[in-house]
Amino acid sequence: MSETEIEELINRLESFPKPDDRAQCQRLWEAARSFAPLQLVIPRIASDLHIFEVLVKSKEPISTAELVARTNADEHLLGRILRYLAAQFLITSPSPRLWTSSPLTSFLANPAYAAGLRFGTVCVLPSEATLPALLSNNSYKDTSSLDTTAFQLGHDTQDSMFEWLSRHPDERNDFQQWMAESHKRQQSAFGGVDLSELLRGSSSPEAPVFVDVGGGNGQSCAEFLDMYPNFAGRLINQDLQAKIIGIQSKGIVHQDHDFFTEQPVKGAKIYHFRKILHNWSTDECVELLSRTREAMGRESRIVIDDIAIEESNLDWHLSYVDLTMGILFGTRERTLFEFKYIFERAGLALGRVVKYGKGFGEHIMVLS
C-alpha cells in the first residue's frame, strides 16, 4: 500500500462518526430501532391482550391498574409492555401510568391488523431468522434458485408455504384476512389506467371479453364491470376449484382452471393477471404465459398488473416485499427489464407500460 493510499484510508476513517458526535450518534441510534424484532413481537402481545381495542373504545385515559384488571396480566410485565408501545408511538401516555390511543392505535385494533401481527410472528419471523444460515450454506445464491426456502428451513418442513397453510387453518385464516385488508388499500388499476382501447371492435354478448386468470374470488372482474358497464361480452374469472367453489357474482362466470394447463377460453379481448407472476419462478412465469399466448386471437392482449421495482428512486417497502417473497416463497419482485426478459421468452412483446397507484410500485403492462 502506497503512502498516498494510507493517507486516504486514514482520512476516510477519521470522517466516521465519533462517539462524542452526539447528534450523529443519536441519529444512528434511532435508526437502529428499525432492526428490532420487538417491533413486531410486542404489538402482537398487546394485540392478544386486546390493549389496542380497549384504548380505542375508551374516551378517557386508562390506568395501568385498570388494564391489569381487564387483561389479567402481571402488573410489572404490563407496565413494561405499555412503556414500549408508547415509546414507539403506538399508544400515548399523557401522564405516568395513564394510557390512551395514538393515531396508530385504531389501525392496530382492526382485526385484520391483529391477524397480520399473528401471521408475522408465527410465519415470517422464524423464516427471516434462518435466512443468514440458508444463504451462507448455499454460497449466497439467489433465493429464487434454491431448492429450499427460508420458510421451509424455519418451519422444518418440505411443504411450500401455501401447502403448510392448508394444514394450519388458523394461520391460513390470518394470512387470508391480512391479504384481503392489504388489497383494500391498493388502488384498482381500472380507475387509474384507461383500457377502453383494448375493447374496441365488434363483440357479441357471448364472446369472451375479459378473462381474469388466477382471479380468486373475482374482485378484478367486479372492478372491471364497475369501470366498463356497457361493454358487450362475457367476464370470466378463473382459478382453482377450491378457491371459487360456491362463489356467485352477477355478470361474472367463475371457471375452474389451472393456468399451467391449456387456456380453455380462446380469443378473449383481455387476459388479465393481477399479482400472479411474483409468486412464480422465471421458468414457471414463461410457462403460464405461454399457455395463454397459445389461446390469443389477433385482437387479444395480455394485461399484467404487478409490482415492478424501479432501479432508481429506491423504496424501502418494495425492497422489503421483494426480500420477503424470497424468504417465504423463493420468488421475487422484478424490474421492468426482468419482466421484459420473461415476456420475450414466452413469445410476447411488451407494449404499453403505465405506473399507477400511490407508491406501491404497481404497473400495468400490455402484451401482444
Read off the CATH number of the domain in which 103 is found: 1.10.10.10
pLDDT exceeds cutoff 60 at 110: yes
Question: Edge-to-edge strand order for the sheet containing 62-63?
Answer: 62-63, 98-101, 91-95
Q: What is the pTM of this model?
A: 0.78
> Which of the four pLDDT bands, split at 50, 70 and 90, describes residue 36?
low
Asked if the structure places residue 26 within a domain, the reply is: no
CA dihedral 221, 223, 226, 231 (to 10 degrees): -40
- For cell 367476464, what's the residue? 235
Cell of 136: 451462507
Asked if the structure places residue 3 within a domain, the reply is: no
* Cα within 13 Å of Cα(168), Cβ side: 17
Instruction: Report the alpha-carbon distance of residue 222 to residue 188 in Å, rounded.
Output: 11
Radius of gyration of the chain from Cα atoms?
Answer: 25
What per-residue confidence (pLDDT) applies to 169? Answer: 92
3-class DSSP state of 114: helix
Residue 63, domain extent: 35-109
Asked if the structure places residue 193 within a domain, the reply is: yes
Q: Are residues 100 and 204 in the same domain?
A: no
- For cell 395463454, what's the residue? 292
Q: Are residues 97 and 230 in the same domain?
A: no
pLDDT in tens, 201-250: 756 788 899 999 998 888 888 888 888 888 888 999 999 876 666 667 77
Q: Are residues 209 and 98 in the same domain?
A: no
- For cell 441519529, what's the residue? 27
For 366, residues 6+ apart whose C-beta sits below 8 A from its C-beta are: 198, 301, 302, 303, 304, 350, 351, 352, 353
pLDDT exceeds cutoff 80 at 323: yes
Asked if the structure places residue 24 within a domain, the reply is: no
Asked if the structure places residue 54 within a domain, the reply is: yes
Domain boundary among 70, 87, 109: 109
> Which of the four pLDDT bands, split at 50, 70 and 90, describes residue 81?
very high
Whole-number Cα distances in Å, 364 to 36, 66, 126, 179, 268:
36, 52, 34, 20, 18
3-class DSSP state of 65: helix
Domain boundary among 55, 79, 109: 109
pLDDT in tens, 85-95: 999 999 999 99
Q: How many domains does the chain have?
A: 3
- For cell 439467489, what's the residue? 142
What per-residue confidence (pLDDT) applies to 33? Answer: 55
- Give me the percent of the chain exceeding a pLDDT of 70: 86
Q: Are residues 217 and 264 in the same domain?
A: yes
Which positions are catalytic? Answer: 278
